[in-house]
Amino acid sequence: MKEPILVVLAAGMGSRFGGLKQMEQFGSNGEVLLHYSVFDALRGGFKKVVFIIRHDLEKDFRETILGRLEGKVQYELAFQELDSLIPLDIFAEAKKNGRTKPWGTAHALICAADRIDAPFAVINADDFYGREGFAAMGKFLSGGEPRPSASAEGAGADVKDGAIMPYKLEPTLSLKGTVSRGVCEVRDGYLVSIEELLSIEKKDGVIFNTGPDGAKQELKPETPVSMNFLGYPDSILPKFRQYFEEFIAASGRELKSECYLPKASDSFIKNNYLKMRVLQADSEWFGITYKEDKEAAIKRLAALTAQGIYPEPLWK
């Protein structure tokens, strides 16, 4: 079994935050949230990191983030751009229609596929997932057993299980506005489905999602949700390529269409290409959807450092 790879989604634009969240400093020595994730990943058994960024971010990314990691972390850069792996006619029409953003997290993953040759986990650059979560995911990816899968065309004779590290919904909400979350249905320790809900909030003690038609769906505080902490065998990458190609042919000309990893995973589960185990860990999540979320994150990191969970400075 090859040592697992951490794939970091760091090409986002942070529209609701109003800036580049992946570059925002939170630690007392200028650390960003991603520095803590990489630190936790290394002690959880990950040996290589693939950062997916945009070309216009590269200079600042190298200075702010990679500068602290040089000589300590094996890493590669991959780039997600508006025209990456997109048919010329679809790209031309999308640009003419005013599109400026790439096509989502599944698009990002296939932009990095040629740098992934081992089981891998995917995370957001601007979220904090906790050391326990990385320990559980690293252990799973390092020792997961293959399973027969007759329907996994093109993926080889065996397809290993994937995994998800879910978090309880309520602590992932923001006090300042709505959030998007992949709501998970779990059965017998495996993921049955993920439904991407784009407008979740809490008002008057009730958590609910507002659908595109205005209909409201109440959600329980302990509902497991995907925070894009997902683990896969590298043998599933051809399926991701196929899924994205079908998506872009059908929806690539739409101004705001996005191809999400959770939705792709849901499709693979339903088509028996992949099983995703639901990992359990007493792991804390926090993130910064809005500017107002930053202060709480700074205080929490300071507390974890004071408890000895993280050294100070984080990267010496």
The pLDDT assigned to 291 comes to: 77
- pLDDT above 50 for 42: yes
CA distances (Å), origin 27, targets 33, 183, 198, 301: 8, 30, 30, 7
Residue % of the chain over a pLDDT of 70: 91
Q: What's the pTM value of the predicted model, to 2 decimals?
A: 0.90
Q: Average of pLDDT values for 228-240?
A: 95
167: Cβ–Cβ under 8 A, 6 or more apart, which residues? 224, 225, 227, 229, 283, 285
The pLDDT assigned to 136 comes to: 95
Q: Cα 283 vs. chain centroid, distance in angstroms? A: 16
- Domains belonging to the chain, first-starting first, are 5-306 (3.90.550.10)
Nearest to 314 by CA among 20, 33, 1: 33
Is the CB of residue 292 less than 8 Å from the CB of residue 175?
Answer: yes
User: Across the chain, what does the average pLDDT equal?
Assistant: 89
The pLDDT assigned to 230 comes to: 97
Is the CB of residue 147 less than 8 Å from the CB of residue 159?
Answer: yes
Binned at pLDDT 50, 70 and 90, residue 153 comes out as very low
The pLDDT assigned to 160 comes to: 59
Nearest to 284 by CA among 28, 36, 5: 36
Burial of 39 (0-12, 13-18, 19+ CB in 10 A): buried
How far, in Å, CA of 58 to CA of 66, rounded? Answer: 10
Q: Average of pLDDT values for 157-179?
A: 85
Binned at pLDDT 50, 70 and 90, residue 261 comes out as very high
- Pairing relationship of beta strands 127-128 and 120-124 according to DSSP bridges: unpaired
Place of tokens 């909030």: 201
Nearest to 281 by CA among 161, 145, 134: 134
The pLDDT assigned to 294 comes to: 86
How far, in Å, CA of 71 to CA of 131, rounded? Answer: 22
Q: Which residue has the higher pLDDT, 84 or 154?
A: 84
How far, in Å, CA of 240 to CA of 216, rounded? Answer: 32
